[in-house]
């Protein structure tokens, strides 16, 4: 029993990690009042950017950074269209996903099948010695350990720093924030672009740690799952962790079932994460906690005059 | 210093200028992208143009691709009109294809005038049901339809895979995932021996039908009014929930029809290569056309031309088909940004200090 469960839980943490980065990124964006449905495309582009940078420089850390920066670049397009030009946030996000998917397939051609230096798992000193928990949480790659810290930072940022409080204020009532002397437009730019950086890190994880090979379609719907998880998590980082690992668990379980050669056709198994996403949305809607959404989410700030 | 000012009167040709500007901008950017990849950009653009409009063969191809795009976009636009974000045309398209194939495989010996209508009806029903699932979830549980329609796309494609790899697989296909070829009765014929098939006439009928429905019926009026928001609708004593169901069923049904036409007339069987992203391009088309049926016809034609042109580039410049998707993304983003100037203008701020 444990021989099956411990590797499964360990795999859960690994496949939940990119989703966790992306979910926190989208949560950051939405906290500022902007809905960004481009996560799927941003993850794809940043996975490629991370792979490329790591391939060229030989440094996976530079790759990780490049992934984050690619996410920021994509996010700034969204910010420009929605925050400055008052474009429709839903459609702009979709456009970003369309663009990102295209760019990744187009620019990724020369790298398909190549390998780049990535992050390898290692036993975290001391902590990996803990029975069971050590096996599950502390025998991964460096990026998993980084992802343990980020939800805490995220929480700290929104609860304890003035910048975080200001960002949340523009997500709730931009007009009131402006009246209080804040700069809602700048704060929204910040939320979208910082969120894009986190989403980009999630994309980078896919090509640097999840696989070290470049293949097309790495994001495989994870971006959309992240968008759904933000709702499921009621815009709270702690619940985002739970949600991301839930999906990581289903993905890992589904892979294991396939590898074990069950009689179920693989296409039906592959449906599991997508069915679960719908189920998760139903569950969070059923709990009826809409109030937790930033009040100004999805609405643009109209300029006066 | 520039200042933003709301326009007193709408900018007359604004929408067209923004649209053409976006087209031009995306052409320039993609030329640069080609250059960055070490290709001859000018040659690339010529190839793109020739591929789309160069000869009769390519024009026929454009029309063929415009048909499924038009039907999907019509569906997407009806839903968007009511501010229901149906992103699920891709999945509803797949379900339509599955419905049509189901009939074609179940009754191969029926004459065409019975079998084809059966296929269209089943395509509409299955596509419609696929869209009603998120509609019901939205109404009953306030589940966000953007994500549920999207997830259903992935599920639909996997369902299609499951069918063509499994129960519907042609035993004579040497292991390829595809159904047996349809019988003659299940295939939409070409018009007067050309490659363009009767689906195009079907499109015209559906387009005019929808336009008349929106314009002359009470339901159509209510639909437009509900686009102003659920609250306005309630004031106007409109049964908002019923309308949402109706609109989503229509929306999914149209996409289902597109799937039926494509399977029957183009592929003559069900196979995974059916899914080339018409459902996603439809979102671009609907938005470019500002959700108007006539504009949708025009925009479908243009984006179909882009696809055909890119196929030509694929052949002659050895670039992936994704190049077209990049252009679609750029066009959509630029139009979104440009629409700012339809309501606002920039004026020089008088120096006060």
Q: Do A277 and B151 make contact, defined as CB atoms within 8 angstroms?
A: yes
As a whole number of angstroms, the distance between CA B270 and CA B260 comes to 10
Cβ pair A87:B152 closer than 8 A: no
pLDDT of amino acid A264: 78
In Å, how far are A223, A235, B306 from A40, measured between CA atoms? 4, 19, 24
Give the CA angle between residues A21, A26, A32 to the nearest 5°: 135
**A201 pLDDT higher than 80:** yes
| HSE value, Cβ hemisphere, 13 Å, CA-based, for B327 | 26
**pLDDT score, position A99:** 96
Cα B21 to Cα A58, A78, A96, A250, B27, distances in angstroms: 41, 19, 19, 46, 10
| Res B353 pLDDT > 60 | no
Q: Is B214 exposed, middle or buried (0-12, 13-18, 19+ CB in 10 A)?
A: middle
Residues of A in contact with B148 (CB under 8 A): 278, 281
Q: Is A2 on the interface with B (CB under 8 A)?
A: no
CB within 8 Å of B111: residues ≥ 6 apart: B185
Q: Is the pLDDT of residue B222 over 90?
A: no
User: Choosing among A30, A89, A94, A243, which should be mutated to test the B contact, i.e. which has the most B CBs within 10 A?
Assistant: A94
Average pLDDT over residues B79-92: 93
pLDDT at B352 (0 to 100)? 58
E-assigned strand segments in chain B: 2-6, 344-348
Phi and psi of B348, rounded to 5°? Answer: -70, 130
Give pLDDT, residue A288: 64
The bridge status of strand B2-6 relative to strand B344-348 is antiparallel
B155 vs A contacts (CB less than 8 Å): 271, 274-275
Residue A166 has pLDDT above 80, yes or no: yes
- Give B184 to chain A, closest Cα distance, Å: 31
pLDDT of B340 reads: 87
Q: What is the pLDDT of residue B219?
A: 86
pLDDT of B119 above 90: yes
What pLDDT was estimated at residue B1? 66
What is the ipTM metric for this complex? 0.92
Section B232-254 average pLDDT: 86
Task: Tell whether the model's pLDDT for residue A287 goes beyond 80.
Answer: no
- Position B138 scores a pLDDT of 92
What does the H/E/C string look like for chain A? CHHHHHHHHHHHHHHHHHHHHHHHHHHHHHHCCCCCCCHHHHHHHHHHHHHHHHHHHCCHHHHHHHHHHHHHHHHHHHHHHHHHCCCCHHHHHHHHHHHHHHHHHHHCHHHCCCECCCCCCCCCCCHHHCCCHHHHHCCCCHHHHHHHHHHHHHHHHHHHCHHHHHHHHHHHCHHHHHHCCCCHHHHHHHHHHHHHHHHHHHHHHHHHHHCCECCCCCCCCHHHHHHHHHHHCCCCHHHHHHHHHHHHHHHHHHHHHHHCCCCCCHHHHHCHHHHHHHHHHHHHHHCCCHHHCCCCCCCCCCCCC
Between B176 and B124, the more confident residue is B124
Q: What is the mean pLDDT of chain B?
A: 90
Contact: A90, B85; criterion CB under 8 Å: yes
Whole-number pLDDT of residue A291:
64
**B165 closest CB neighbour out of A84, A265, A281:** A265
In this predicted structure, the answer to whether residue B344 has a pLDDT above a threshold of 80 is yes
Region B218-227 average pLDDT: 83
- Distance from C-alpha of B334 to C-alpha of A81, rounded to nearest angstrom: 8
Residues of A with CB below 8 A from B177's CB? none
Strand partners, B4: B346
Look at residue A289 in the predicted model and tell me its pLDDT. Answer: 58
- Alpha-carbon distance of A231 to A282, in angstroms, equals 10
- Flag if A103 and B322 touch (Cβ within 8 Å): yes
Residue B350: predicted pLDDT:
67
pLDDT digits (tens, 9 = 90+) for A75-119: 999 999 999 999 999 999 999 999 999 999 999 999 999 988 989
Residue B153 CA from chain centroid, whole number: 14
pLDDT for position B226: 81
pLDDT of residue B230: 66
Of the two residues A2 and A17, the one the predictor is more confident about is A17
- A282: nearest CB among B85, B143, B329: B143
Summarize pLDDT for B261-313 with one digit per residue, the tens. 999 999 999 999 999 999 999 999 999 998 888 999 999 999 999 999 999 99
Summarised one tens digit per residue, pLDDT across range A233-270 is 989 999 999 999 999 999 998 888 887 777 778 888 88
Tell me which of A36, A41, A87 to substitute to probe the interface with B (most B C-beta atoms closer than 10 Å).
Answer: A87
Q: Is the pLDDT of residue A305 over 60?
A: no
Q: For residues B277 and B280, what is the distance between their CA atoms, to the nearest angstrom?
A: 5
Closest residue in chain B to residue A266, using alpha carbons only: B162
The whole-number pLDDT of residue B6 equals 81
- Nearest C-alpha of chain B: how many angstroms from A41? 11
Q: Which two tokens stand for residue B108?
A: 């191969």
Instruction: Calculate mean pLDDT across residues B183-192.
Output: 90
């Amino acid at each position: 029993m444990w021989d099956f469960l411990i590797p499964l839980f360990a795999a859960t943490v690994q496949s939940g990690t990119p989703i966790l980065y992306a979910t926190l990124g989208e949560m950051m964006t939405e906290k500022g009042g902007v809905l960004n449905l481009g996560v799927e495309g941003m993850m794809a582009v940043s996975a490629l950017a991370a792979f490329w940078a790591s391939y060229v420089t030989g440094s996976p850390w530079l790759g990780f950074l490049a992934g984050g920066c690619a996410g920021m670049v994509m996010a700034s397009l969204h910010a420009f269209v929605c925050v400055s030009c008052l474009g429709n946030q839903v459609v702009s996000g979709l456009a970003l996903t369309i663009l990102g998917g295209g760019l990744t397939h187009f620019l990724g051609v020369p790298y398909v099948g190549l390998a780049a230096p990535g992050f390898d798992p290692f036993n975290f000193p001391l902590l990996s010695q803990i029975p069971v928990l050590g096996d599950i949480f502390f025998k991964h790659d460096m990026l998993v350990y980084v992802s343990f810290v980020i939800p805490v930072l995220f929480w700290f940022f929104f609860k304890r720093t003035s910048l975080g409080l200001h960002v949340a204020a523009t997500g709730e009532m931009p007009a009131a924030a402006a009246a209080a002397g804040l700069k809602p437009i700048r704060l929204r730019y910040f939320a979208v672009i910082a969120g894009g950086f986190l989403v980009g890190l999630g994309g980078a994880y896919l090509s640097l740690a999840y696989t070290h090979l470049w293949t097309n379609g790495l994001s495989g719907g994870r971006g959309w799952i992240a968008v759904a998880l933000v709702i499921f998590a009621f815009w709270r980082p702690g619940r985002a962790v739970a949600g991301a690992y839930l999906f990581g668990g289903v993905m890992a379980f589904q892979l294991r079932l396939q590898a074990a050669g069950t009689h179920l056709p693989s296409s039906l198994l592959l449906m599991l994460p997508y069915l679960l996403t719908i189920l998760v949305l139903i569950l969070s809607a059923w709990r009826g906690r809409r109030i937790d959404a930033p009040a100004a989410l999805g609405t643009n700030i109209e300029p006066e005059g | 210093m520039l200042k933003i000012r709301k326009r007193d009167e709408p900018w007359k040709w604004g929408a067209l200028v923004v649209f053409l500007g976006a087209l031009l901008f995306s052409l320039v950017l993609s030329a640069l992208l080609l250059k960055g990849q070490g290709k001859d950009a000018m040659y690339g653009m010529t190839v793109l143009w020739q591929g789309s409009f160069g000869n009769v063969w390519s024009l026929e191809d454009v029309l063929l691709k415009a048909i499924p795009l038009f039907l999907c976009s019509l569906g997407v636009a009806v839903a968007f009109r009511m501010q229901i974000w149906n992103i699920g045309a891709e999945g509803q398209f797949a379900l339509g294809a599955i419905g049509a194939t189901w009939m074609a495989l179940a009754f191969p010996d029926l004459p065409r005038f019975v079998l084809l209508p059966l296929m269209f009806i089943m395509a509409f029903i299955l596509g419609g049901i696929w869209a009603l699932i998120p509609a019901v979830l939205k109404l009953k549980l306030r589940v966000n339809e953007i994500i549920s329609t999207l997830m259903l796309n992935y599920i639909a494609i996997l369902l299609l895979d499951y069918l063509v790899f499994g129960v519907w697989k042609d035993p004579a296909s040497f292991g390829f995932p595809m159904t047996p070829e349809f019988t003659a009765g299940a295939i939409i014929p070409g018009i007067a021996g050309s490659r363009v098939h009767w689906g195009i006439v079907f499109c015209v009928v559906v387009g005019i039908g929808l336009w008349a429905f929106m314009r002359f019926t009470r339901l159509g009026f209510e639909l437009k009014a509900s686009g102003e928001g659920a609250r306005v609708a309630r004031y106007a004593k409109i049964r908002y929930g019923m309308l949402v169901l109706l609109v989503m069923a229509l929306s999914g049904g149209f996409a289902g029809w597109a799937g039926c036409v494509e399977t029957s007339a183009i592929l003559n069987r069900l196979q995974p290569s059916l899914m080339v992203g018409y459902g996603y391009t439809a979102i671009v088309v609907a938005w470019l056309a500002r959700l108007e049926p006539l504009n949708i016809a025009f925009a479908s034609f243009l984006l179909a031309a882009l696809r055909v042109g890119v196929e030509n580039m694929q052949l002659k410049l050895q670039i992936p088909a994704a190049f077209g998707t990049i252009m679609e993304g750029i066009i959509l983003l630029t139009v979104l940004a440009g629409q700012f100037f339809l309501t606002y203008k920039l004026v020089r701020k008088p120096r006060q200090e």
